[in-house]
Structure 1
Amino acid sequence: MRILLVDDNSPRAEKLTEHLTHEVMCSPSDIDLVTDALSAREALKSRIYDLLVLDVMLPFRADSKPEEGTSVDLLVELYETGNLHRPGHIIGITAYEAAERSVSADFSSRSWVLVRQDSMNDDWMRTIANAVSYIREQSKEEAREYGVDLVIVTALQLEMEAIRKLPWSWSPDEALDDSQFFLKGTFKSGGQTFSVVAAVASRMGMVSSSVLASKLIRTFRPRMIAMPGICAGVRDRTNLGDIICADTSWDYQSGKHVTKEHARSGFQMDPHFIPVDAFVTARIDQLLRDEEFALDVWRRWEPRRLAPPVLHRGPVASGSAVLADPAVTDRIKTQQRKLLAIEMELYGVFLAAEQAARPKPVALGLKSVCDFADDEKNDSAQSYAAYTSASFLREFCERYFSDLS
C-alpha cells in the first residue's frame, strides 16, 4: 500500500515511519514524506495513495509558517475538486489541543479520524498502525475479484453523448461523489451479459482524466478501462474520422528545459512510454481486416461528406494543450517516428490503469481523428469522429469482450 505522510515535524515523522516499518511491516519505499501543502498537492497529483496522514498545523510552502487553515484547504480541494487523487483514507494528526478543537468539524466530515499526538505515550502511533493494518486487509478482500466489466472515461460531453447513443441499456445518471456523476449499462458478447460504467471528466487534460480514471478504478474495479473520443491525426498518415487504437502512449512534454549551452536544444526529452496489453493489440489486428464493418459505420452517418473510416493501430502522444501548429507535431515525431495521433488525456488514463492495485484493468484507447493539429478546425468533423470512435468501441466490446472474462 502507498502512504503519504504530510508533516513538518521531522522527528515525529521519522518516529512514525520507523514504527510503521517495524510494527506493521510497511516498506520505507511505500511511505512518501513531504513537509508542506504545496509539495503534498504535487504528490497527490502524480500518485495514488491508500492513506494520507495529514498534520493539522501545516505550512503552505517550505518557507512559510504552519497554519491550521492550510490543512483544511487541502482537504477541501481533495473533496470538492477533481484536481487531485483523493486517497482512500485520511488521518489527521496534531500535538495541539487548541488546533484539534479548531479543525475538529472540518476533519471529522472529511477524514477517517483525527489523532492527538501525546509525547508521553505511543498510543497515537498504534492508532495509525492499526489503521494501516485494517486498510491492508480491506484491500486484500476487495482485490479478490473484479467489480464491473468495463469502465468508459471521456474528456468531453460531445464524446459522452456518442457513448450514450450506444444501445447498451443506459440507466439515469447516478452520483459517484460530490463532484462526479456516472451512468450504468450492459452489453452482450459471446452470449454473455457484461456491465459497463461511463463517466465524463470535468475538464480536458491528463490530470482531470487521470483523477477520474483512478477514482472509477478504485470504486468499480473494472476488467477493462476504455477511453474513446477525438484526437488530432498526423496528416498524410490518417484521414478525418479514422480511428486510432493506441498501442503505446506517453506525455510528449515530459523532460527537462535546459540552457542552450548544455544542449543543442533547450529541451531534453524524457518520455515514459506505456504499451497496451497484448489482449488489445491482437484483437485490434483482427478488427483491422474487417473493412465491411467500417463501411457500415460510414453508411449510418448522415451526411456522408467524408471518406469511410479506417482503423489504425500505433503510437498516440498526450500533451496538456490543444495544438494548432504543425511544427509541434514534427517535434513530437522525433520522440516516436511512427506517431499517428496527438491528444490530451490518454496517457493519464493508461497511467491510472498501470498504477492501480490488483486486479489491474486492461486499458484501451480508441480515438478518432477530427483535425490535424493545425488551425483548420471543423465542428462537424468532431461529431463524426466521436461517432466513429464510439461505434468501434462498441464493436470491439461486443465482438471480443467475452475473451477477457
Structure 2
Amino acid sequence: MKVLIVEDDGDKLRRLYTVLIRSGVKEEDISDVRCSHQARSNLRTIHYDLLLLDLNIPRRLDEAPRSGEGAALLEEISERGKYQKPRAVIGVTAYDGELKSAQPIFNAGLVPIFLYESESDGWEAPLQRWLEYNIATQVIEPSVSSGEYLVDVAIITALERPELSAILDLDWDWKEQNFLDDDTSYFLGQAKRQDGGRIVAASSPFVGMPAASILATKMIARFKPRFLIHAGIAAAVRGQAEIGDVLVADPSWDWGSGKFAIDADKIVFYAAPYQILLREELRGKIRRLASDEERLAKIRSAWKGQRPASVLSVRLGPMASGASVLADGVTKERIRDQHRKLLGIEMETYGVMAAAEFSSKPRPMAISLKSACDFADGQKNDEFQAYAAFTSARVVEILVESYL
C-alpha cells in the first residue's frame, strides 16, 4: 500500500513512520512531504491508499505552519476532481484546540483524528489498531500490485460442526475476527513452527459448491492466502478408500456438468466436466505425507472415540463434486463412468478449487483434504463423521507445519 505523510515536524514524522511499519506497511511504500503545496503536487499524479495529514502545516516550505491548513487541504482534495483521492485519510495534530476546530470537517467525511503527544506514546497504540483493522478489512488496500500474500494458509470447511470445530481444536492460538462489512466469523491462528505461519479459517453458511465458492472468493480477496485448504468430510468409493482415510482431490470436477438429451426416446446425460488438477508442487508434498505411516498411525490412535478397524491412509485421486447428497448407490455408479479411478464424492471441493483457479493475483495454491465418513451407497450414516473431521484436521496440521 502507498502512504503519503504530510508533516513538517521531524520527530513526529519519525514516530509516524515507526507506527506505520509496525502495522505492516513497508518503509519503501511510505512517502512524506513538508507542506500542503508539495502534497497537492503529489496528489495530482499519484494515487495513495492512505493520507496521514497533520492539521498544522505550512502552505509552502518557506512559510510558517498555519492553523487549519491541513483541514483546508482535505476539503480541497474532497471537492476538486483534479486530485487522486486517497482510499483513506487520518488526521494527526499535537494541538487540542486544532483538533476541536477541525473535528466537524473531518467528521463530515468520517475521517478519524488522533491527538499526538510528544512526551507520551499513548497515542501510538490506538493509531496502530486503526491501521491494522482497516488494512485487514481492505478499507486501506494492501499492496496487491506487488503480488503480496497477507496470510500463509486459509482453511475452509462446509460445516461449523464437526468440520470447523475440528480445525479450531488444533493448537494454533485461534482468535475470532469479525468485520463490519461481512457476516462471516473468521478465526486467525499461528502455526506451531519456526516461522509461525499465519492461518485463517472459516466455515460456509450452507453446504454445497455455491456457498463454498463464495466463501473461498471472499477469503482470497480479503486475506490473500498463499495456500487455500478445503478440509472436512466426504463419501469414499468402496474399495478405493476406507472410513477415516483422507482423500486429496486430483483432479476435481462438477459431476453434474453436461447436458441432458433425448436418444432413442430415452433421456440421456452427456457429461462434459472441466477438471482442475492439483498443482505439481502440492502433489509431491502429499505423496511424501502419505508415506509417513508413523505420524498417520499417531493420528488414528489419538482419537478417543469409536474408530474403524482400518489403518489411516492419505489417498490422492479423482474427486467429484455435486449439488446433491448421495445415498442411493445408483448415482455413484453413473459418476464412476466419468472417471474409472474415482476416489470420492462430495459437495464443495470443485467450487473451492475453481475460486482459486480463477481468482485475481496473487492466486493461492488450492488443495482439498477431506476424510471419508461413509460410502454413499445407501448405507449412509453419521457414525464416523466426527472421526473423519478429526483425521482431516490432523492431516491438515501436519501438512501446514511440516510440508507447506
TM class, shorter-chain normalised? 0.5 to 0.7
5 Å-filtered alignment, 1:203-214, equals 203-214=206-217
**Counterpart of 2:351 in structure 1: which amino acid?**
G
Aligned pair count reads: 264
Paired position in structure 1 for 2:358: 355
Paired position in structure 2 for 1:288: 290
- Normalised by the size of structure 1, how large is the TM-score? 0.62
SS in 1 for 2:341: coil
The answer as to whether partners of 2:329 and 2:378 remain within 8 angstroms in 1 is no
SS in 2 for 1:274: coil
SS in 2 for 1:386: helix
| Partner Cα separation in structure 2 for residue 141 and residue 242 of structure 1 | 38
- Please, which of 169, 175, 192 is the counterpart of residue 188 of structure 1? 192
- Relative to structure 1, is the Cα distance of residues 141 and 388 closer, same or farther in structure 2, using a 3 angstrom cutoff? closer
Paired position in structure 2 for 1:172: 176
Paired position in structure 2 for 1:276: 278
Paired position in structure 2 for 1:50: none
**Counterpart of 2:364 in structure 1: which amino acid?**
P
Where does structure 2 lack aligned partners over 5 or more consecutive residues? 1-140
- Please, which of 290, 298, 301 is the counterpart of residue 299 of structure 1? 301
**Counterpart of 1:392 in structure 2: which amino acid?**
V
Calculate the aligned-residue CA RMSD, in Å: 2.0
1:374 CA displacement = 2.4
1:260 CA displacement = 2.0
- Please, which of 219, 228, 241 is the counterpart of residue 238 of structure 1? 241
1:309 aligned onto 2:312: yes
The answer as to whether partners of 2:233 and 2:385 remain within 8 angstroms in 1 is yes
Please give the per-residue CA displacement for 1:131-166, whole angstroms capped at 9, x wherever unaligned.
xxxxxxx79844531111110110001100000100
- Relative to structure 1, is the Cα distance of residues 285 and 155 closer, same or farther in structure 2, using a 3 angstrom cutoff? same
**Counterpart of 1:289 in structure 2: which amino acid?**
S
SS in 2 for 1:224: strand
| Partner Cα separation in structure 2 for residue 231 and residue 279 of structure 1 | 24
1:395 aligned onto 2:398: yes
1:329 CA displacement = 1.1
Paired position in structure 2 for 1:91: none
**Counterpart of 1:299 in structure 2: which amino acid?**
S
Paired position in structure 2 for 1:151: 154
The answer as to whether partners of 1:315 and 1:341 remain within 8 angstroms in 2 is yes
Paired position in structure 1 for 2:224: 221
SS in 2 for 1:168: coil
Paired position in structure 1 for 2:164: 160
The answer as to whether partners of 2:154 and 2:199 remain within 8 angstroms in 1 is yes
Paired position in structure 1 for 2:262: 259
Please give the per-residue CA displacement for 1:348-403, whole angstroms capped at 9, x wherever unaligned.
000000001111100010000001012323323000000000000100110012xx
| Partner Cα separation in structure 1 for residue 181 and residue 227 of structure 2 | 22
- Relative to structure 1, is the Cα distance of residues 203 and 143 closer, same or farther in structure 2, using a 3 angstrom cutoff? farther
1:180 CA displacement = 1.3
Paired position in structure 2 for 1:68: none
Please give the per-residue CA displacement for 1:191-213, whole angstroms capped at 9, x wherever unaligned.
21110110100100000000010
| Partner Cα separation in structure 2 for residue 303 and residue 335 of structure 1 | 36
- State, as a whole percentage, how many aligned pairs show the same letter: 40
Please give the per-residue CA displacement for 1:167-222, whole angstroms capped at 9, x wherever unaligned.
01101342363421111001034x21110110100100000000010011011111
**Counterpart of 1:179 in structure 2: which amino acid?**
D
1:234 CA displacement = 0.1
Paired position in structure 1 for 2:371: 368
Please give the per-residue CA displacement for 1:278-304, whole angstroms capped at 9, x wherever unaligned.
111101111111111111011111235
Please give the per-residue CA displacement for 1:67-113, whole angstroms capped at 9, x wherever unaligned.
xxxxxxxxxxxxxxxxxxxxxxxxxxxxxxxxxxxxxxxxxxxxxxx
Please give the per-residue CA displacement for 1:335-355, whole angstroms capped at 9, x wherever unaligned.
111100000000000000000
The answer as to whether partners of 2:144 and 2:362 remain within 8 angstroms in 1 is no
- Please, which of 313, 332, 352 is the counterpart of residue 329 of structure 1? 332
The answer as to whether partners of 1:253 and 1:269 remain within 8 angstroms in 2 is yes
Q: Which stretch has the larger CA shift, 141-150 or 330-339?
A: 141-150
- Normalised by the size of structure 2, how large is the TM-score? 0.62
